[in-house]
Every structure is written in structure tokens, then in C-alpha cells.
Amino acid sequence: MPPVRSAFELLGPEGPFATKFGAYEHRASQLEMAAAVERTLREERILLCEAGTGTGKTLAYLVPVLLSKKRVVISTATKALQEQIAYKDLPLIARTLEIEPRVAVMKGLTNYVCRRRLGEFRTSEEAARPRYASALRVLNQWAAETETGETAELAGLSEDDPIWPHVTSSTDTRIGAGCAYHDECFVTRMRRDAESAQLLIVNHHLFFADLALRGPHPASVLPDYDAVVFDEAHQIEDVAGLFFGSRVSRLKTSRLATELARVIGAVVPSSNVPEQLQRAADHFWEVVLRQHQSSGPRATVEPDAWRGPMQQAYFAIDLALEGVLGVLKSIDPTGDALPAARLRPAVQELLVRRTQTLRDQLASVVDGGAGMVTWLELAPPALSSTPVDLAPVLSDRVFASIPAVVLTSATLTTGDTAPRMPAADAASKPTSFHYFRRRFGVGDDLGAEELAVGSPFDFERQAVLYTPNDLPPARSAAFLEQAADRVRDLVAITGGGAFVLTTSHASMQRLYQLLKTRLPRQTVFVQGQAPKQALVSAFRASGDAVLVATQSFWEGVDVPGRALRLVVLEKLPFAVPTDPVVRARSLAIERNGGNPFMDLFVPGAAIALKQGFGRLIRTRRDYGVVALLDERVHTKGYAKRLLRALPPVRITHALADVQSFWDQARALD
């Protein structure tokens, strides 16, 4: 590889990609993005880059990253994107540029089997239970042969098999150098590989788990790095919130009690503290759930709730945890017990740490605090305390601390050229990145560069946006019936190949039932009837199917080609106002003099709408229809702002125009 050539030259019309691949097309938007990424890494700055669908943004940042010689973290939204980068994009670049980059793919600890925990589980009473016996046989054989220890590698067990929580690694169960299995540990091997790599490919969850550990008592999962590239960067706010607060689940308390019973029972058979903890935990969760049984799937837990029965239940579980700590600390690992029954010092230290951490997290959730919102998930039960505003945390821990940061996504701008803002912010420069910068803490003082590169696709030729003006309001009792009729009409035009995307599980289930009767010739899938990737594969293989789904299918699902030619968006994708975190953020905006609807809900909906629209056109040869059935697009002033965020596309409210577009597109295909 010529040592002085830039990413712009390498990806350009005279570069090796163009000369070695006959089908390669250099794209002006890709070259512009590559030059900006290269500049950001060289000058150690921040880049906000919206790259439209089809830009080729992965190559646009990977080539400059490899040229930089810096150690760079690529943080993605999903494991699927991690694997695409590691096993498709990077090998292509390596062959083209004739290089051998040092790359490490790092996943969350729960993706790896823990040899110590597997060994302990083998000898436990639970291992003999029928629900685990067959899985354990498969697992034992695989563990003796695997090189990586990654759970996804074992096709013989489903990803939700009940044995996995007992045998996989986690931050709670890691002992470290004191573990008898440390040298042969799969996680240790992963980290060792990462230490020698230039490029670390992780997902957002692992990145922020690591960042949270680098706090007052420094620890880390990732080795130190010089820069980070966030792909699908619009998702990092919600992920970061999981790690800069506290979270306690019923499953976590139950697992700890089970492991304590196994370990303490072998060393101090007379002790009943694990059973006391389990009873206290069961009572705690019963009381918390009973207090919020009329709530939705996520409920705000107000500070006043920690009185009466909930306070007493908390005191009981806290006292039980204190009792466990007392017993654990009193055990002499070198005492008179038989060697097989002795508690190894490293395991003793781990259990003390886990118990104390659970106690601290419970206290943090109960105490709440300024700038935090506490909320309950009902299924499976979990309590969380999350920062309402992540901007200060992200500003300090990411943008002011990491030398170079690239944030890229197909959806970072919101189409607002003159955003509403409190008077105190009147001097701020109004830009289409304003919403993202405000939510994510990218202040003007950080000197971030902004770049929005458009898609190379010809949306005016390849797509039509159908917005009917004759359907009832989305909240009307008649809406779903008539929406199903309109989906039937659209499927009649396109012959199927449709995603029907809803904003709630209730709407999804109702539309699924309605469409099954209205579309007897189509295979109609619904989210949840199979794992997501299996469902997408079945949809793609069918070619003419209809898939009804909700939030997780609005983005991150790639079905290029004829299999997907119709995307129906049931309603405008506004955030749920009663969601605890959304409600807390709305109240905070009001207190600061802003308008929650225009400053939070509308820009958030613009980004989600762009994601939904983006499912349709994935290549230059694709064509199809996007239908938005929400009548508010015709009656509300903010609708223009939402539509302005979409790519330039022909808009019609007449079904006849959709038919005409379809006939013309098929004639040119």
C-alpha cells in the first residue's frame, strides 16, 4: 500500500478499490465523509456525520482509521453490525489494500462461557434437574473443543436456554487473576487479543459498560484507545443511561441467593442466611410489583413510594444482605474444613463484592437523587435509577476525554432549521444537528465539525411516499380496521413484500389478526413468533410475505432487493409520553423554559420516521412504496418539519398515483 495516499485517493476513481473491482462505484458523499474522518483523527477533534443510506459509511470510516495507525474503537448498535464489519468489510479492505490489520472483536461478558462457573455448576444439585441435564451434556462437549467460548458459536443450544445464566461470565462474577482458570479463561484470551490490536470492534453496551468502570476506582474492560467511532450513534443516549445509573433485577437477586446457598451451604451448612435473603428478596419484589400493578410495562417510582410497605420490604432485604456479608467475612478459607469444602479466597472476595454491590445498588435506586428518575420494569421485574439528562455525562466522559470522536448515522439531523430554545441559549448557532448536540452534550465549546452527506439513491425515481387523507384519526376506534383495508389495497399493488410497522404491541397484534383474514394469499408474519433474525430470513426467503412488527424493526433491519418493496408506517413514531424517562425529560425541558413537544417529541419522531423510511431503499436497483397512514401529517403544523427530515421523495395522497408509480417502476426494472 503506498504510504502517502489518503483515504480520499484510495476510495476514489483512480484508487485500488476502483481498479480491482469492476462493479465498484466511487461516491462523492463517501469520499467527503472519508476526508472528514481522516481530518478528525489527525487533528483529534469531534465529527458529527449524517450519512444517508447507500453512502458506504463503513468504508468511509474504516479506511481512514486503518491509515491513522491509532488504536481506535468502533462501537456499533448491534452484534450483527459488529460481525459485518469484522468478517465482511475489513477482509475486503485488507485484500484491496494488501494489509493485515490487527483486529479484535469484543462482545459483552455474558457472550462467553465461564470455565469456573461451568465447573461449579456441574457439581451442583441443580445440574441434575431435568431442565438442565441435556443442555449440560451438549455444553460440556462443546466447552472442551471451542477456541473462543462464545455462546453464539454453539448452535445446539438456543440463545434463551435456562442454563446460560448459570455458566456465562459477567462483571459480577469475574474474579480476575486470582481465578484458578485465569490463564485458560475465554474472556482473558479475548482481552489479551485486544491488547495487541489496532482496531477494537465492540457494541454500544460494552463501550459504555467499560466507560462506567473507568470511574473513581478505575477499572476497564477495553484496553486504552486513542479514538472512537460510534456507528448508529443516535442510539447511544439510551444505552449510556443504562450504565450511568443503577439497576437491580429480581433475577439478579435470585441468582445471588442461589449461588450463596450453594457456596455457603458447602462451607457453613448450619447457616440459613441465603434462605433469609431469598425470602426477603421475594417479599421485596412482591410488594414493589403490587404497588405498581395497574401501571404500564414501565412505571415511574416516585420518591414518596419508599414509605410504608415498600420501605419495610427494602429494610428487610438490606438487613438480609448485611447478614450475608457478616457470614462471608467470618469464614476462614484456611480453616479445618475438608479441602473440597473450603471457600477459596478469590471466590470469597467475589461473593463479598457482589453482595455489597447489590446492597449499594438497591440503596441508590431507593435514594434516587437530584437529576435521576427511578422506574420499574414489570416483565421481567427490575428497578432502575437513570440520569434524566445524559448530556453532562457524555460531554465530560466522552467528548472532553477521548482525543478523537466520530459519530455517524443515517439519522442525526431532524429537519429543523430554526429550533426552539430557551432565551439563555439564544446565542447558540441553530443547525439541523441542534437536537442531537443538545441531547448528547456536544457543546459549541468542543469545536465539533458537522457534515451531512446525502444518499446516492434517486429517491424521486425509486420511491413514492403515500400519505392518505381519507383515513380516520389514529386514535379513532375505526382506524385499525380501515388501516388494514388500506394495507390490503397496497399489497394488491405491490404483490406483497411488505413491512407493516406499528408504534405499539397492541396495534401490532390487532393489525396482524386483521391482515391474516384480509390477505389469504400472503404469508403474514408477526414479530415474536420467531427470533428476529430467523423472522427476517423467512420473510426474505418468501419474497411476497407481509411482516407486522413494532419498534425493533423500525431500524437496523436490512432487506435489500425485491423481498421488501412496501413499508407501511401505521402512525407517526412519537415517544410514549408516560414512559418514566421520557416524562422526566419532558418535565426537565419545561423547567428550563422549553417546549417538550417541539424540543423532544417532534425531533425524536423525525429521527424515528427517517429510520422507518430507510428500511425501503437499500440499493440503486430497489424501488418501492412507503405509506404513512397517520392523518396528522395533513392536519398538524409540525408535519412539515417531520417530512423535511426525509430524503427528497414524491409525496401523494392518491392510491391511483401509487399504482401509476408502481407500473412505471416495474416497466423500467
135-150 pLDDT per residue, tens: 999 999 999 999 999 9
Letter for the amino acid at 407?
A: L
Q: Which of 639, 641, 617 is nearest to 628 (CA)?
A: 639
* Preceding peptide of 380 cis, ω within 30°: yes
Structural domains of the chain sorted by starting position, each given as residue range(s) with its CATH number in brackets: 1-102+197-244+390-456 (3.40.50.300), 246-385 (1.20.120), 459-668 (3.40.50.300)
**Largest alpha-carbon pair distance within the chain?**
87
**Torsions phi, psi for 546 (to 5 deg):** -125, 130
pLDDT for 216: 55
**Which residue in this structure is represented by grid cell 466507560?**
211
What is the reported pLDDT for 2?
47
CB 481 within 8 A of CB 431: no
For residues 476 and 85, give the distance between their C-alpha atoms in angstroms, rounded to a whole number. 45
Q: Quick one: pLDDT at residue 422? A: 35
Distance CA 18, CA 180 (A): 52
Rounded CA separation 615/548 (Å): 14
Please name which of 109, 110, 111, 90 lies closest in space to residue 101, comparing C-alpha atoms: 90
Nearest to 63 by CA among 14, 99, 108, 13: 99
What CA–CA distance (Å, rounded) separates 525 from 539? Answer: 8
For 257-294, b where at least 16 C-beta lie within 10 A, e where not — what string?
bbbbbbbbbbbbeebebbebbbebbbbbbebbbebbee
Rounded Cα–Cα distance for residues 357 and 187 (Å):
22
Report the length, in residues, of the chain. 669
* DSSP H helical ranges for 368-478: 391-394, 434-440, 459-462
Residue corresponding to grid cell 448536540: 437
User: What is each CA distance from 11 to 59, 60, 188, 228, 620, in whole angstroms?
Assistant: 8, 8, 37, 21, 19
Ranges of the chain with pLDDT below 70: 1-4, 215-219, 295, 333-343, 415-431, 669
532 membership: H or E segment, kind and range: helix 532-542
Tell me what pLDDT residue 218 has. Answer: 55
C-beta of residue 196 within 8 angstroms of C-beta of residue 102: yes
Rounded CA gap, 238 and 298, in Å? 15
323-362 core/surface letters (b: 16 or more CB in 10 A; e: else): bbbebbeebeeeeeeeeeebbeebbbbbbeebbebbbebb
